[in-house]
Structure 1
Amino acid sequence: MQDQIRRILVSHGKMSVDAMSVDSSVDLYELGLTSHASVNVMLALEDEFDIEFPDTDLKKSTFATVDNLAAVVGRLVPA
């Protein structure tokens, strides 16, 4: 799952570093992720995993790290 999330970050995150090579706990906003790009990441994740982020998860901390994204996506993906 983290590889899929990282590929989406590479294609939609518009960060100055390669998301495939960063530590999963590093702050993505410090690496150049913007709030606008995080919306694009969210939409791509929803498409990729056939999920919908609830309003309670639409906060900066959800998109701050690969670990946080994986935790939220993992919780939302149907079993």
Structure 2
Amino acid sequence: MDKQIRDILTAHGKLAVDVATLAADDDLFAAGLTSHASVNVMLACEDEFDIEFPDEALKKATFASIASLAGVVSGLLDEAA
């Protein structure tokens, strides 16, 4: 899942740094993720993982790091199973 999320961030995150250089817990907003780009990342994650982010997951903390995004996606996949 880490690679898929990194690929999504590379394609849709418009980060100021190379996603490959980021640790899983690095702050994505400090790396250049904007609110607009986070929406594109969310939509790409929904398509990639066939999930839908619930309203309660639509907060800055969800998109704060690769690890937090992976945790939310993993939880949604578990709920769908």
3-state SS of paired residue (2:21) = coil
Q: What RMSD, in angstroms, separates the aligned Cα atoms of the two structures? A: 0.7
Q: What are the residue-to-residue correspondences of 1:34-45 with 2, within 5 Å?
A: 34-45=34-45
Following the alignment from structure 1 to structure 2, what is the Cα–Cα distance between the partners of residues 18 and 51?
A: 26
TM-score (norm 1): 0.96
Q: Which runs of 5+ in 1 are unaligned?
A: none
Residue of structure 2 equivalent to 1:46: 46
- 1:4-40 deviation line (CA, Å, top 9, x unaligned): 0000000000001111220000100001000000000
Secondary structure at 1:56's aligned position in 2? helix
Q: How does 1:1-79 map to 2 (within 5 A)?
A: 1-77=1-77, 78-79=80-81
> d(CA) in 1 for partners of 2:5 and 2:39?
14
Task: Name structure 2 gaps, 5 residues minimum.
Answer: none
Regions of 4+ moved over 3 Å: none
Contact persistence 1:3–1:20 (CA under 8 A): no
Q: State percent identity of aligned pairs.
A: 61
State the aligned residue count. 79
